[in-house]
Structure 1
Amino acid sequence: MGALNQTMVIDRPIETVFAMATDMERSPLIMDQVEQVEKLTNGPVAEGTKYQEVRNLGGRRVQSTLEVIEFVPAESYAVSSEQNGVRIEFRYTFKPQGESTYVTFDGTIQTSGFIRRLFKGMVVRMISKEELFHLQKLKKYIEKEETTKDKAL
């Protein structure tokens, strides 16, 4: 288990949750800080797929490249990003729980350089809080999106 760990039950089937959670281009609809996500590689999402992400962090636009490092349909999904001496890996696992899905987020942060190591604890707390909100917003988004589709039928 990494430095960051959160769990959430989403009241939708695992196939729906996995498909929506791994659609990185939906991130601006779910995460407040994410302004834009662009897929850089061709083909379906798989290990090695890369995205360019732009976040607004306190009025500062920060651009980073995310790479899918694990992709097992309806089971797990992981991405990594490295920028300015900070490497972050996020891993989501999905388990069916009746008609719902149990989602686990596990993340690790590695830093290089003395100054970055000094601020690692602060970065871990900030990202952990952000990811808890992300899972809460993901749950709300998926459950609302599916309910809206059901009503339209």
Structure 2
Amino acid sequence: MGALNQKIVIEKPIENVFNIAVNMENSPAIMDQVEEIKKLTDGPVAQGTKYEEIRNLGGRRVQSILEVVEYTPNASYAVSSEQNGVQITFRYTFTPQGEHTLVTFDGTIQTKGLARSLFKGMIVRMISKEELFHLQKLKTYIEKNDSEDR
């Protein structure tokens, strides 16, 4: 298990968990740093869907474009973004566990240039910690919700 690998069981059926998790417009309610998110493409979420995301990182607003690079309904999706020489891909896999759902997060980071490469370890630690909190908040958000879609 790498540094960018987290797992959590959410006590809701896979369809409910997947639909809420893949709807990135829920991000401000689930992720502390996300202030705004706007879907840039038309239609339902699928491979190629793009979003503009604004995060508050230590008082600084940082904008990035997220692209869905993998999408298999009720099974997995992956989102990729690149900013300042750092490309990050987050992949979420959903596995039924009876009436519950195991959510697995795997992330990869690629850096360009020596300066970014020197900070790669720090970036990995920061994202790993952030993603654990994200999965915990996702679990709380979904389990407290009676609605199947958000």
- Alignment match, 2:35: 35
| In structure 2, C-alpha distance between the alignment counterparts of 1:76 and 1:116, rounded to whole Å | 29
- Alignment match, 1:45: 45
In structure 1, the residue corresponding to 2:88 is in which secondary structure? strand
Which amino acid is 1:5 matched to? Answer: N
Unaligned runs of 5+ in 1: none
Which amino acid is 1:25 matched to? Answer: E
Report the CA distance between 1:145 and its aligned residue: 1.2
Residues 90, 105 of structure 1: 8 Å contact kept: yes
Task: Please identify runs of 4+ aligned residues in structure 1 that moved more than 3 A.
Answer: none
- Alignment match, 1:10: 10
| In structure 2, C-alpha distance between the alignment counterparts of 1:109 and 1:11, rounded to whole Å | 30
Report the CA distance between 1:135 and its aligned residue: 0.1
Report the CA distance between 1:3 and its aligned residue: 4.5
Percent identical: 74
Aligned length: 148
Residues 41, 50 of structure 1: 8 Å contact kept: yes
Residues 89, 109 of structure 2: 8 Å contact kept: yes
| In structure 1, C-alpha distance between the alignment counterparts of 2:45 and 2:140, rounded to whole Å | 24
- Using the size of structure 2 for normalisation, the TM-score is 0.96
Which has the larger share of helix? Answer: 1
Residues 78, 89 of structure 1: 8 Å contact kept: yes
| In structure 1, C-alpha distance between the alignment counterparts of 2:66 and 2:136, rounded to whole Å | 22
In structure 1, the residue corresponding to 2:44 is in which secondary structure? coil
Which amino acid is 2:29 matched to? Answer: L
In structure 2, the residue corresponding to 1:69 is in which secondary structure? strand
Which amino acid is 1:77 matched to? Answer: Y
CA deviations over 1:15-64 (Å, ceiling 9, x no partner): 00000000000100011100000000001100000000000000000000
Report the CA distance between 1:143 and its aligned residue: 0.2
- Alignment match, 2:107: 107
In the TM superposition, what are the counterparts of 1:19-98 in structure 2 within 5 Å?
Answer: 19-98=19-98
In structure 1, the residue corresponding to 2:145 is in which secondary structure? helix
Q: CA RMSD in A?
A: 1.2
- Using the size of structure 1 for normalisation, the TM-score is 0.94
